Structure 1
């Protein structure tokens, strides 16, 4: 097991994680042939058998696997030299079940990363993580809340937390300070379509990256302005979010929902670019750019 390397793709949520996971699944034969094991979220979404349960990070499995975390690691690697885990829920949830948007992104994430690194030691751990402009990130999170059935306004959901107050730098700095990951690879969600080969080059190998065929369609398109208005209507016959999404799909006819003012979006972009510059200067962090 000492020759095994582990890569954790930990999100963030709403940064094309599902598209990356489906691309990996589409190219599974190629990845397996290269001696790499990929485990996506479906491997960690069984109640009582999440990634945290498996590696005994603040939780205990009802029936612990004989041999503990090292045996689990061996099972997941399946005899291959590199294990890639993609599970955006590992660092924490994006939305509390009934609460507002979190002021601090993934507050328990750095501690969980540190625990995982200890459980898999001496195998080195690489972290892969995407960030996104806070304004569109919060709007996408809000759309997810509506899709779950909660009927809440954007104003109540953001809880007086403007996008300019959301800091990716603060989170990444805390991840770095734990000194748990050998390397941390970061990219902008907005750059994802242009840098997929770069991402797969580091996640897999440069040779395999050149042969990876991206998943052909965008997975989650969010909600349109008309769909959000329909969901929030006081009409007893108002549609559910999935119904509204199907009836008012994002496109030329129905523009994407945008609940923040132009000024709020401008300030969000400024904070975002400042965060990215500071993230790129952190030790052990590689910011991927087109």
Structure 2
């Protein structure tokens, strides 16, 4: 019988939220049998949240390091089998789409470095990589607002984003904090806007060439957000609740011809596009970050 390697490659696929993370997760899960045969174990969010997140909370509360590391070893043995590469998928490692966990004035995922650091401490001696997709605040903020209505009480978009400066939200700053929490980890990043073009490169980089070639993108949209029509209708309702939000989604579905909420002016879009471009350029220069970009198409 094969035995598990003493040192594995652990890839933490942490989202971010609303960056096609559910699409990538499902694509990997659909390919799981073929990936297992190639030494890659794919662990879905439900396993992370059931068996790993509670242990990381105990780390926060002062559990002995040896107990935490024993739990990490048991987790890998139980769910990773003998795979040399284990992919652990959960956006909630960073936080959630609850406003307090998502944004704080000028900071994305204000507690992400603490949350990641606690989980990393459970796996000493392993090679750690972090997969992180980023997205322009112009669409990230409305999409996260829409997602937040799945889980909490209704609040208007403007209240959800009150006090947050979208021009100051920097993915490069988040990557720096994650690096400080896991200084030996490599961060593999890509833009949501590039996702369809870089999908094969991302899977190859995360899994290796042979395993990456086994993954095909699922042919459906996962977790579509609110359409602009639905958002407008909700704003006209008196004290909307979760049932009202569900009714809005069904009554005014988001499609190619009925896009999501766009709360910004043309000037807002221009400013955020420039800020996002600058942020992406800064991310690409970070020595601990590998930014996956679309292949260059030759004119020849």
Asked if these proteins are the same fold (TM beyond 0.5), I'd say yes
1:131 correspondence with 2:134: yes
Deviation at 1:210, TM superposition (A): 2.2
Equivalent residue number for residue 113 of structure 1? 116
Structure-to-structure mapping, 1:6-21, within 5 angstroms: 6-21=10-25
1:41 to 41, 45, 54: 45
Equivalent residue number for residue 83 of structure 1? 86
Equivalent residue number for residue 59 of structure 2? 57
2:276 to 240, 249, 272: 272
Higher helix share: 2
Distance 1:128 1:206, change over 3 A: same
Deviation at 1:181, TM superposition (A): 4.1
Equivalent residue number for residue 249 of structure 1? 253
In the alignment, the residues of structure 1 paired with residue 110 and residue 245 of structure 2 have an alpha-carbon distance, to the nearest angstrom, of 29
In the alignment, the residues of structure 1 paired with residue 213 and residue 72 of structure 2 have an alpha-carbon distance, to the nearest angstrom, of 34
Equivalent position SS for 1:257: coil
Equivalent residue number for residue 195 of structure 2? 192
1:286 to 270, 285, 290: 290
Name segments (4+ residues, structure 1) moved above 6 Å.
Answer: 236-239
**TM-score (ref. length: structure 2):** 0.86
15-24 or 151-160, larger mean C-alpha shift: 151-160
Equivalent position SS for 1:121: coil
Gaps of 5+ in 1: none
In the alignment, the residues of structure 2 paired with residue 129 and residue 181 of structure 1 have an alpha-carbon distance, to the nearest angstrom, of 16
Equivalent residue number for residue 244 of structure 2? 240
Equivalent residue number for residue 297 of structure 2? none
In the alignment, the residues of structure 2 paired with residue 115 and residue 247 of structure 1 have an alpha-carbon distance, to the nearest angstrom, of 42
Distance 1:53 1:96, change over 3 A: farther
Conserved? CA contact 1:14–1:140, under 8 Å:
yes
In the alignment, the residues of structure 2 paired with residue 275 and residue 14 of structure 1 have an alpha-carbon distance, to the nearest angstrom, of 18
Equivalent residue number for residue 205 of structure 1? 208
Conserved? CA contact 2:179–2:185, under 8 Å:
no
Distance 1:45 1:287, change over 3 A: same
Deviation at 1:225, TM superposition (A): 1.4
In the alignment, the residues of structure 2 paired with residue 100 and residue 76 of structure 1 have an alpha-carbon distance, to the nearest angstrom, of 29
In the alignment, the residues of structure 2 paired with residue 261 and residue 157 of structure 1 have an alpha-carbon distance, to the nearest angstrom, of 18
Deviation at 1:39, TM superposition (A): 0.4
Deviation at 1:52, TM superposition (A): 4.9
Distance 1:237 1:19, change over 3 A: closer
Conserved? CA contact 1:21–1:86, under 8 Å:
yes
Equivalent residue number for residue 22 of structure 1? 26
Equivalent residue number for residue 70 of structure 1? 73
14-23 or 220-229, larger mean C-alpha shift: 220-229
Deviation at 1:141, TM superposition (A): 1.1
Distance 1:237 1:33, change over 3 A: closer
Conserved? CA contact 2:20–2:192, under 8 Å:
yes
Equivalent residue number for residue 224 of structure 2? 221
In the alignment, the residues of structure 2 paired with residue 83 and residue 248 of structure 1 have an alpha-carbon distance, to the nearest angstrom, of 40
Deviation at 1:19, TM superposition (A): 0.5
